[in-house]
Amino acid sequence: MPQRREIRPRRAPFARPGRSPRPNSGFSTASAKRSAPATTAFLTSLAVRDQVAASTQNQALSALLFLYRDVLSVGLRLLECCRLRVKDVDFGANQIVIRDGKGNKDRVTMLPAAVRADLARHLEHVRKQHQVDLRQGAGWVELPWALARKYPNAGREWGWQWVFPATRMYLERLTGQRRRHHLHDPCSSAP
């Protein structure tokens, strides 16, 4: 049986004397400018290539705005935001668990009060979409490591769903499951 890694909260970067109390978002103005064309291209591809409904485009735009404006200000890297699972957001303890972050390490960061209400609303919308997916015989997500073998139905459970799911589903060839992946990093497709 593999040993569980202990997850310890990081010390706030400003807890040391002489450090600024302003949290570092890890997302600079230069990064935002670089990602704007990629984000526009992503939303355009939804409309033109994928021919999704206007409501789906709006959902994707809202998720991206929330991601850039609120979640990245918590100190998460963009890919860490994309890979968040519902079970990793703990409203009771006001924290977010980041799994397999930089250096394949787990860490815990705060969940600011300013983000809570918007995140709760977003997750309610995601939950409704998941319930629709379940009724259609879908609702699966990819599970890490060998969890799919150990817990065959866990991929449909609410806690394992992505906080920022993709707008479209795909068919997993080996299992025949209709799944949603997480939102892709719009910056990764930028030239």
User: How far apart are alpha carbons 74 and 67 in whole angstroms?
Assistant: 10
Domain membership of residue 167 (yes or no) is yes
Tally the C-alpha atoms within 13 A of residue 73's C-alpha that lie toward its C-beta.
11
**pLDDT tens digits, 103-154:** 889 999 989 888 899 999 999 999 999 999 999 999 999 999 899 999 999 9
Domain membership of residue 16 (yes or no) is no
Helix (H, G, I), strand (E, B) or coil at 65: helix
Domain membership of residue 148 (yes or no) is yes
Max mean pLDDT among 50-54, 66-70, 145-149, 182-186 falls in 145-149
Phi-psi region of 69 (alpha: psi -120 to 50; beta: other; left: phi over 0): alpha
Contact (Cβ atoms closer than 8 angstroms) between residue 25 and residue 73: yes
In the numeric block, the tokens 């994707």 are attached to 60
> Can you give the residue range of the structural domain that contains 175?
24-189
pLDDT at 46: 84
pLDDT at 47: 85
**Is the model's pLDDT at 156 over the cut of 60?**
yes
pLDDT at 31: 52
pLDDT at 20: 37
pTM: 0.66
> What is the tally of structural domains in the chain?
1
Domain membership of residue 8 (yes or no) is no
Beta bridge partners of 108: 9, 97
Domain membership of residue 134 (yes or no) is yes
Tokens read off for 188: 């990764």
Domain membership of residue 7 (yes or no) is no
Residues in the chain: 191
Confidence label for 76 from pLDDT (cuts 50, 70 and 90): confident
User: How far apart are alpha carbons 23 and 120 in whole angstroms?
Assistant: 22
Domain membership of residue 46 (yes or no) is yes
